[in-house]
Amino acid sequence: MNSSSVSNPSLTRSLSDSLEALPGVERAYFDPRHRQICLLSRPGWSADQLRADALRTVAAEVGEAADAIPIEVVSRLDPAGRQRVRFDGIDVEERPDRRIHVRVRLEWDGRTCEGEAEGEPGETIELRTAIAAGLQAIERITGRSLGLRLVGVKRVRAFDAELMVVSLYRAGSPPEKLVGAVLAGDDAHRAAAIALLNALNRLLGNYLVTH
C-alpha cells in the first residue's frame, strides 16, 4: 500500500469497512506513518487465518502486492463475564412412558448449542439428567469431550440459604475436582444447569479462547 493509498480518506474508509466485514474482525486501524494495518480480533479467532483473509481483502481492493503490507492482529480479551458460556434455557418434559426428557441450551460467541438427556422421574435422578444434558451441550460447543465425570449434584443448606451444588471430576495430570454452586430457587433443574456452568466456566473460557 503506497502513501497515496493510505492518505486517501475514501479508500481508507472503504478498506476499513471491508476488513471489518471479515468474520472475527472487530475493528481495523490504519497507521499512515508506518503504512501498517492493525486488526482487533474477537476472542478465539486464529491470528494467522485473520491475517491471511485480510491480505486477500487488501490485495483485491487496493490492487497491490498483499505480502508487502504489514498486518498486525491483536486479540481482544473480553471482561471475564463476557467470556463465559451463557445459560440460555432448559426444557423439562415428562414423556408418555413417564421418562423425563431434559434439553439444555447454552450460548457461546453468538452460537447456541443444545444437549439432551433422558432419565427416570425423581429429584435426584432428574438433576443428574439435567447435568448430563448440560455436559452434552458443552461438548457440542467445544467440539470434543473434556473428560468430565459427574461426582454428584444435590441441594445443601448453608448460611440460611438453599444452594444447588455440582461436583465434577476430570482425569489428567494433575486430576481436577471442580465444584459449582448457585442459589437453588424454585426451579431445581435450572439451578443444576447453572451450577454446572459455574463449576466449568473458567476451564471453558481458557479452552475456547485457545482452541
CATH code (residue 176): 3.30.160.270
Residue type, 21: A
Say whether both 181 and 99 belong to one domain.
yes
Residues 28 and 109 in one domain: no
Q: Hey, what's the cell of 110?
A: 453468538
Are residues 134 and 85 part of one domain? yes
- CA 98, 89, 142, 130 torsion: positive or negative? negative
Residue matched to cell numbers 426444557: 91
Check whether residue 104 and residue 19 sit in a common domain. no
pLDDT truncated to tens, each residue of the chain (211 aa)?
Answer: 444 444 455 556 666 777 877 777 877 877 666 667 888 887 667 778 888 888 887 777 666 555 667 788 877 555 444 456 788 889 999 998 899 999 999 887 778 889 999 999 999 999 999 999 999 999 888 887 888 899 999 999 887 788 999 999 988 778 888 898 888 888 999 999 999 988 887 777 665 655 5
Sheet with 71-75: list strands edge to edge.
25-31, 36-41, 71-75
Residue 154 and residue 56 share a domain: no
Per DSSP (E only), the strands in the chain are: 25-31, 36-41, 71-75, 86-94, 100-108, 111-119, 148-158, 161-170, 176-183
Q: Is 206 found in the same domain as 167?
A: yes
For residues 126 and 41, state if they share a domain. no
Q: For residues 54 and 18, state if they share a domain.
A: yes
Last residue of a domain, one of 59, 75, 91: 75
Residues 153 and 168 reside in one and the same domain = yes
Answer yes or no: do 64 and 84 share one domain.
no
Domain that holds residue 85: 80-210
If asked whether residues 60 and 91 sit together in one domain, one would say: no
Element (H, E) at 6: helix 3-7
Contact 183, 191 (CB under 8 A): yes
Residue 48: the pLDDT is: 81
Domain count along the chain: 2
User: What is the rounded distance in angstroms from the CA atom of residue 41 to the CA atom of residue 29?
Assistant: 11
Q: Which 8-state DSSP code applies to residue 204? A: H
